Amino acid sequence: MTPSRLQAWFLACRPKTLSVSLSPVLVGTAIAWHDSGRILWLPLLAAALGAALIQIGTNLFNDVGDFRRGTDTPDRLGPKRATAEGWLGAGVVEGAAWLAFALAFLCGIYLVAHGGWPIVIIGLASLAAGWAYTGGPAPIAYRPLGEVFVFIFFGLVAVGGSYYLQMLTLAPVAVVAATLIGLHAAAVITVNNYRDHDGDARNGKNTLAVLLGRPATRRLYSAEMLVPYALLPLLAASLGWRATLPLLSLPLALRLIQRFNSEAPGPVFNGILAATAGLQMAYALLLSLSFAI
């Protein structure tokens, strides 16, 4: 069934994984609240909106970029893509991606006025990386760097930048928390690349999953899911017993690892991908609560 134009745009933005860009903003702000007892609401809202717009723009560039490179073939296992299915024109989708980046840039103008030159560097690097994920002569998504990209920009940069906007400095605890959130964000990409392994290999898309093979990728996913729990003691000096709160999400993580390792590659991994993004959000909420109470 062909979706309406509005539904096509909604699906092209990939709403099921947008929490990946919002979770780190929440965590960085919660740590700042713990350290200062206050929240600067305008920087928080501008950072959250800017992060979401960058992810939406990246998703749209990915939609049209994979179509133009011929990697979104009819036998792909992932959700249908708006450009490849003909729901939306390639030029229109690319224009929407640039519009999302332009709106993110406008958010960045305010954030730069508030946070200074470090935000210029973070903002421009994030926009450039979002475009380069599928654009340019050597797209990140076509190399074994997708997980590294997500770990850096949806972990270290997003959590650290959100904390900096509140405090105008950076604390070691924020870097530790950024590492935890970034690993779970990277797990989302690992699910995507594991699901698409066979098609990517045929089409010359050399993701980390293609490079490692399926057995090693299963181990990688397990590590990405479990290491954030193993590293929680690093937060004990700041949080005491509250550092254990994210463990409440561990049963979900273990269930996802079991499904990832036992399910045959196929459309079922679309649900695992969405659930992995949900796990990251649950972990982020619990971690934020650890700092807020």
Domain boundaries, position 221: 18-292
Looking at the predicted structure, is the pLDDT value of residue 118 above 80? yes
Residues 269-289, mean pLDDT to the nearest whole number? 97
Looking at the predicted structure, is the pLDDT value of residue 75 above 80? no
Counting the structural domains of the chain, the total is: 1
In a domain, 12, yes or no: no
Most confident of 69-83, 131-145, 222-236: 222-236
DSSP 46: H
Residues 208-223, mean pLDDT to the nearest whole number? 97
Q: How far apart, in whole angstroms, are the C-alpha atoms of residue 261 and residue 218? A: 6
In a domain, 2, yes or no: no
What radius of gyration do the chain's Cα atoms show?
Answer: 19
* Alpha carbon 162 to its chain's center: 15
User: pTM, whole model, 2 decimals?
Assistant: 0.94
CB 86 within 8 A of CB 144: no
In a domain, 248, yes or no: yes
Residues 104-132, mean pLDDT to the nearest whole number? 93
Lowest average pLDDT, out of 32-36, 74-78, 228-232, 239-243, goes to 74-78
CB 21 within 8 A of CB 159: no
Q: How far apart, in whole angstroms, are the C-alpha atoms of residue 208 and residue 159? A: 24
State the pLDDT at residue 123. 92
Q: What is the DSSP string of 61-112?
A: HHHHHHHHHT-S-TT--S---TTTTTSS-HHHHHHHHHHHHHHHHHHHHHHH
Lowest average pLDDT, out of 22-26, 71-75, 161-165, 212-216, goes to 71-75
Query: Which one, of 245, 238, 241, lies nearest residue 288 by Cα?
Result: 245
In a domain, 7, yes or no: no
In a domain, 158, yes or no: yes
CB 246 within 8 A of CB 286: yes
In a domain, 23, yes or no: yes
Q: What is the CATH number of the domain that holds 85?
A: 1.10.600
106 Cβ neighbours under 8 A, 6+ residues apart: none
Q: How far apart, in whole angstroms, are the C-alpha atoms of residue 140 and residue 161? A: 22
Q: pLDDT tens digit string along 40-56?
A: 999 999 999 999 999 99
Lowest average pLDDT, out of 73-87, 195-209, 255-269, goes to 73-87
Looking at the predicted structure, is the pLDDT value of residue 72 above 90? no
Looking at the predicted structure, is the pLDDT value of residue 77 above 80? no
pLDDT band at 66 (very low <50, low <70, confident <90, very high): confident
State the pLDDT at residue 191. 97
State the pLDDT at residue 59. 93
50 Cβ neighbours under 8 A, 6+ residues apart: 104, 107, 108, 111, 123
pLDDT band at 69 (very low <50, low <70, confident <90, very high): confident
Residues 246-261, mean pLDDT to the nearest whole number? 98
Query: Which one, of 266, 267, 270, 289, lies nearest residue 278 by Cα?
Result: 270
CB 130 within 8 A of CB 83: no
State the pLDDT at residue 2. 82
In a domain, 226, yes or no: yes
Mean pLDDT of the chain: 93
Task: Work out the percent of the chain whose per-residue pLDDT is above 90.
Answer: 81
Looking at the predicted structure, is the pLDDT value of residue 217 above 90? yes
Looking at the predicted structure, is the pLDDT value of residue 198 above 80? yes
Q: pLDDT tens digit string along 8-41?
A: 999 999 998 899 999 999 999 999 999 999 999 9
In a domain, 167, yes or no: yes
Residues 161-171, mean pLDDT to the nearest whole number? 97
Where is pLDDT greater, at 98 or 202? 98
Q: What are 212's two structure tokens?
A: 């490692």
